[in-house]
A and B are shown apart, each in its own frame.
Chain A
Amino acid sequence: MTPNAASISSGPSRRSFLASTAVATAAVAGGMPLLTACGGSDSGSREGATSGKAADKLIPTYVASKTAAKPDLPSKNGSTAGYTSKVDLAKLVTSVPDKLGTGAPFKIMSPFWGSPPKPGCAYYTALDAAAGTKITWQNQDGITYGEKLGAVLASSSIPDMVVVPSWELVGKIASAVTAKFMDLGPYLAGDKVKKYPNLAAIPSDAWRMSIFGGALRGIPMPAAPVPGIAPFYRKDIFDKKGYTVPKSPDEFLSWAKEATSSKAKVWACGDMRWSAAGFFGVLPAGSLGWNIGDDGKLTYRIEHPEYLEHLEWVRKLFDAGVVHPDDKANTGNASQRFTAGQILVYNDNTASWYGLTAEQAKANPDFEIEGMDYFGADGGDPTLYANPPANIWSMIRKGASKETIENALAAANFAAAPYGTKERMFVDYGVEGTHYTVKDGVPVKNDKGNQEVVNAWPMLAAPAPYTAHPDLPEIARKQVEWQQRQGAFVKKTSTFGMNIVEPARYATLSSQFEQLEIDFVRGHKKLSDVQQAISTWKSSGGDKLRDWYKKLLDKNGSGN
């Protein structure tokens, strides 16, 4: 009776979904970290947040990268920077001229999606040689990483450096971060960061999100605030059937009824809850869900009428029978049903844009997908909310020696090399000839590359968000343009950019809502059950939590 990995992965909760998108992100070379986690709403011995001027003292000085290639599509409306033209591989620049590592051995624990390569494989040795480090990788299954992380943090032997994803910061793990990891301020705050130019080029928003318990404890993987989840549709099938892309929730429903033909084994869509949240302008989950409205009142996402409206709309889809039965039963893999044409629309991380296209390129040359533009509940402009600027951190344990810390920072600095540098190429593709070959100026990973050059190094840190797919530049262009179009409607909530640790007594207050949403849209719970849960939430701590947030925002200032 052990909770096995498969059982968890097959239940794509928000948490495991985010983890799965990290696979896509980390697996796609040059993909950007576009994780849309719900921020760690959690307990902690040191609750609260640090922002504003207090935070500015703690974070490193921003120094724009001198080595990053000039993007073809510069960041606009909070989008990632896009690279669509070929980068001359012979003229890559060096961002880390001197080896900053001293070669003192240290250990890193990191989530790994897939089967990790052997210790001492060509990729790890080559990267160590280039960065001057000697890392022992402790790769752990990414799907059950939270369980492992919780246990390791409760042990007395914590690895020197640990990768901590925000979606694992549930229950008491957030307080552990403050208790177990060191303040990196003495090494990075202010101008000290200039020793590590690639870390200095990480945007300040991301660094602010790395403050835990009043100190800088994380090296962030920055993320763009634009939506990370897109309602994807099969453009090839839409064109063939002559469907027009829906422009409102009502149009979507009537299109879905037309497109569904269970006899032909075609259903319109999968579970559209995440897209619906965008259509109806629902606030994000977690601490980002707290916002001061135009009326000056501080409210949480579930208190707004839009929250119920978006769930009711998704329920309409389920009731109309336009959702694939396997999505209703939550078995199998929705993206496989999408590529097989059994569903025509589904929501997924934008990294899948490249992932699915690359995967289908050979088997199905006609395969073409597009991200649907978000529309508002009435068919007008949508209201979207900004994602947190960082979702994954690497952290160094308290009590690590000075030399270990410097080696760990050297590794992070190497991993954060911007696009267009030799180091980036190294981290994403490994060694030429061993892990990839160059065809028509485009690097292509071989089997060994696909096996070894996965996760690990890219998890340590990342440069400012960018999008580049050298083999499919067109996808990078579409993706960035989509981000820019959606970005125009993105608003920041009052809690944006703050790493907030909620008091422990409220840790499980909102934990039942995701299950309730899942059950309600599938018809297993009534609307009154959801309403009941909302009023219970208020009376059993929600209102007190509101007071707590109010004080916090009064003290720190609003994030928007």
Chain B
Amino acid sequence: MSLTAGSRPDGTRPPAAVEEPTAAVATAAAKDQVPRRTGKAGKKGKAGKVPWRVRLRRDRTLILMTLPVIALLLLFNYVPLLGNVVAFQEYDPYASSNGITAIFHSPWVGVEQFSRMFDDPLFWSATKNTIVLFVLQLVLFFPVPIVLALVINSVIRPRVRAVAQAIMYLPHFFSWVLVVTVFQQILGGAGIIAQTLEKHGWSGFDLMTDADLFKYLVIGQAVWKDAGWGIIVFLAALSAVSTDLYEAAAMDGAGRWRRMWHVTLPALRPVIALLLVLRVGDALSVGFEQFLLQRWAVGAGASEVLDTYVWNVGIQNGDFSYAAAVGLIKGVIGVCLVLGANKVAHLLGEQGVYKK
């Protein structure tokens, strides 16, 4: 493979190193499908090579092994979906002997809970905050782990690399309570920076209660806490890049930057696209505890996002039906976003999350 062919930045053709494993997976999958199809056909018409029963017996251990997971998945992920029906009711969990039968005793109100949203300024304020934060997270947070992964990857000495990685991972294991406290101790009105400035005659520094800068503050907190953790998946992708490619590129006279541009980044592209699609699909979930904890400091006007709004309305005020309606709308928008983002990924020639 010549360097020029494999390195077109427009990316119509991904480099071999990435193409090969995916192709291998694809062929393996295709091979796997062949007997299944014939098996099905065999069941319907003439006797196939591997009958349905035989396959069942052959795979029974595997099937048995997955059964508990499927049961849990059904029980905890799919059955509760039915509970969304309360969004069309005025649900009173105490209308009957228990909360589930109470659904049958609660009055139907049609789409009233949904129309309430249009007249609810708090809902729109929460939606606005959510979207603004999502965009900021995408622009300011999303690229950080990629850059960090490239930096880590360029470090050759394994010891330095391990230490750097460990330091970057650690904050991920802090709870949000701790993160907010640490930030308060540093950036708060009685924190280290404020005290130091005070000694030099500047007073009034308090970043933690500034409602206007809050959106950047939360991005900063998220970067500190989770950016290090986010590099793991990129490092894994980088480790899959064949060193042959770098050697070949170096042989052809590519410098450090050109190697990164033409070899490393294209190798990361499918992973970046995948994560981007997932992130966009999850756009309306920008965080929860982080915002709940700092609600007083900057006010609900700046810190209310859809998730905290649902929690307040549903759990705190006991308005379950309205909270369910808001949650349902959020879910529907999320699905639309995933489909849209995936479509865009396909159009750009990426695999995305799934293929048709």
Residues of A participating in the B interface, judged by any CB pair closer than 8 Å: 1, 3-4, 6-8, 10-11, 43, 45, 147, 150-151, 153-156, 170-173, 175-176, 179-180, 262-263, 265, 267, 321, 324-326, 328-332, 342, 504, 507-508, 511-512, 515, 518-519, 522, 524-525
Contact = CB atoms under 8 A, between A and B. Distances in A.
Contacts of B94: 45, 153-154, 172-173, 175-176, 179-180
Given A179-B94, A519-B300, A1 B285 contact: yes
Contact of B189 (A3, A176, A325): A325
A322 to B, nearest CB: 12
Nearest to A15: B316
B297 interface: yes
B188 A518 contact: no
A507 B317 contact: yes
A519 B292 contact: no
Interface string B306-336: 0100010101111100000000000000000
Contacts of B109: none
Contacts of B288: 1, 3
A6 B175 contact: yes
B298 A524 contact: yes
Contacts of A1: 285, 288-289, 307
Nearest to B199: A263
Interface stretch (B145-153, B176-184, B233-241): B176-184
A3 B203 contact: no
Contacts of A508: 313, 317, 319
B208 interface: yes
B21 interface: no
B184 A331 contact: yes
Given A156-B97, A512-B122, A328 B293 contact: no
Nearest to B98: A156
Contact of B177 (A10, A150, A156): A10
Contacts of B221: none
B319 A329 contact: no
Interface residues of B, number: 51
Given A171-B319, A262-B194, A331-B297, 10 more contacts: A3-B311, A4-B289, A11-B293, A151-B99, A154-B94, A172-B318, A328-B209, A329-B206, A330-B296, A511-B317
B190 A171 contact: no
A154 B102 contact: yes
24 contacts: A3-B292, A6-B175, A7-B177, A7-B292, A7-B293, A10-B293, A11-B295, A43-B318, A45-B95, A153-B94, A154-B102, A155-B99, A171-B317, A172-B93, A267-B190, A321-B204, A324-B189, A328-B189, A329-B209, A331-B208, A332-B181, A507-B317, A507-B318, A519-B301
Contact of B188 (A45, A179, A326): A326
Given A150-B318, A262-B198, A512-B122, A525 B299 contact: yes
A507 B314 CA distance: 13
B296 A522 contact: yes
A325 B209 contact: yes
Contacts of B191: 325
A390 to B, nearest CB: 22
Contacts of A331: 180-181, 184, 188, 208, 297
Interface of B: 92-95, 97-99, 102, 122, 175-177, 180-181, 184, 188-191, 194-195, 198-199, 203-204, 206, 208-209, 211, 285, 288-289, 292-302, 307, 311, 313, 315-319
Contacts of B92: 45, 172, 175, 504
Interface of B is mostly: helix
A147 B311 CA distance: 11
Contact of B318 (A170, A326, A512): A170
A326 B194 CA distance: 12
B188 A524 contact: no
A173 B317 CA distance: 10
Most chain B beta-carbon neighbours within 10 Å: one of A10, A155, A262: A10
For the complex of A and B, the 5 pairs showing the least CB-CB separation, nearest first, are: A171-B318, A325-B189, A524-B299, A154-B99, A330-B296
Contacts of B293: 7, 10-11
Nearest to A43: B318
A325 B299 contact: no
Contacts of B195: 265
A453 to B, nearest CB: 29
A175 to B, nearest CB: 6
Contact of B190 (A175, A262, A518): A262
A326 B299 contact: no
A166 to B, nearest CB: 15
A11 B292 contact: yes
Contacts of A147: 315
A345 to B, nearest CB: 17
A524 B301 CA distance: 8
Contacts of B93: 150, 153-154, 172, 176
